[in-house]
Amino acid sequence: MKWNNHFLKDCLESEEVLPLWVADMDFQCPQPVIEVLKKRVAEEIYGYSWHKIPAYLNAVTNWMKRRHNWEVNKDWIVFSPGIVPAIYMLIQTFVNIGEKVIIQPPVYNPFFTAIKNNGRQVLLNQLLYENKKYSIDFEDFEEKAKDPLTKMFILCSPHNPIGRVWTEKELRRIGDICLDNEILIVSDEIHHDLILSGYNHTLFSTTSKEFEQNTFVCTAPGKTFNIAGLQISNIIISDKRKREAFTNTIMNINGIMIPNVFGIVALITG
């Protein structure tokens, strides 16, 4: 959308607007990905694809191990066409109508709509802004977590749009509060590969085995390789019961089971 003049004209009523949002990257897709897509297009057959293949599963597990030191079992990986639809379906699966979900504004707007459009209540744990730096209001977070109607927390890590890379200490405190109050964690980590020099991103599930069992880790190659339009993401769920419940929602209720034919080869190559 960022570089689509038709979108700018239709939605913003001007082709002169400078698109400065960060959802679409400013860098060209890596050349190896471009080449494999050209090769795939040249095959001239674009039928159905499948995600339960070794190349895809190995690509995800190897990346997590090499880049983030996280040992992921291949069985934990559930395909989704995107993280946003996955968040919608996670809410549908694990939060009843009328129950509450915590988010931390200022934050990615689809978090709000995913909760509200599904008939659940939004709980705002407003981030604190002091001395030109954002931090978590843990006192407020714990108070909201104790509400018996609170069932889920959506973590944005790194945080969009403020850019905070949460420390391991902060993540552990979040995890402890959520465990103490039986709150599930959805960790949107789509920007996990885009970290400035001097900072280290800690995948939430690497901080504790208990946290790992209580968390849905959402990753995708879209930001890393600028292929968001190819619609492929990985929802990593270590707990078998939770994974089966989510898989039932995504496949049997919503009928989502076949990845984009170009997305799968782009992910594997990236």
Whether the Cβ atoms of residue 153 and residue 174 lie closer than 8 Å to each other: yes
Q: Given a cut of 70, is residue 97 above it in pLDDT? A: yes
Mean local confidence (pLDDT), 86-103: 99
43 domain residue, yes or no: yes
Give the position of tokens 């089966």: 244
3 domain residue, yes or no: no
Residue 209: pLDDT band (50, 70, 90) is very high
190 domain residue, yes or no: yes
Domain at 194, CATH number: 3.40.640.10
Q: What is the pLDDT of residues 123-161, one digit of tens each?
A: 999 999 999 999 999 999 999 999 999 999 999 999 999
Tokens for 110, please give them. 């689809």
For residue 1, the model assigns a pLDDT of 65
Strand order in the sheet with 121-124: 77-80, 233-237, 215-219, 184-188, 150-156, 100-103, 121-124
130 domain residue, yes or no: yes
Q: What is the pLDDT of residues 27-43, one digit of tens each?
A: 889 999 999 999 999 99
175 domain residue, yes or no: yes
Q: What is the pLDDT of residues 217-249, one digit of tens each?
A: 999 999 999 999 999 999 999 999 999 999 999
Half-sphere exposure of 174 (CA within 13 A, CB side): 30
Q: What is the DSSP string of 134-157?
A: EE--HHHHHHHHTSTTEEEEEEES
253 domain residue, yes or no: yes
Q: What is the DSSP string of 44-71?
A: -------S-SHHHHHHHHHHHHHHH---
Mean local confidence (pLDDT), 200-208: 97
Half-sphere exposure of 215 (CA within 13 A, CB side): 27
The residues, any chain, with a CB within 8 Å of residue 136's CB and separated by 6 or more, are 104, 125, 127, 128, 166, 170, 173, 174
114 domain residue, yes or no: yes
For residue 261, the model assigns a pLDDT of 94
**Euclidean distance between CA atoms 96 and 63, whole angstroms:** 34
Structural domain range at position 88: 32-269
For residue 20, the model assigns a pLDDT of 74
For residue 17, the model assigns a pLDDT of 76
27 domain residue, yes or no: no
In total, how many domains does the chain have?
1
Distance from chain centroid for Cα 252: 22
Q: Given a cut of 90, is residue 12 above it in pLDDT? A: no
Count CB neighbours of 13 within 10 A.
8
SS3 letters across 155-171: EECCCCCCCCCCCHHHH
Q: Given a cut of 80, is residue 18 above it in pLDDT? A: no
The length of the chain is: 270
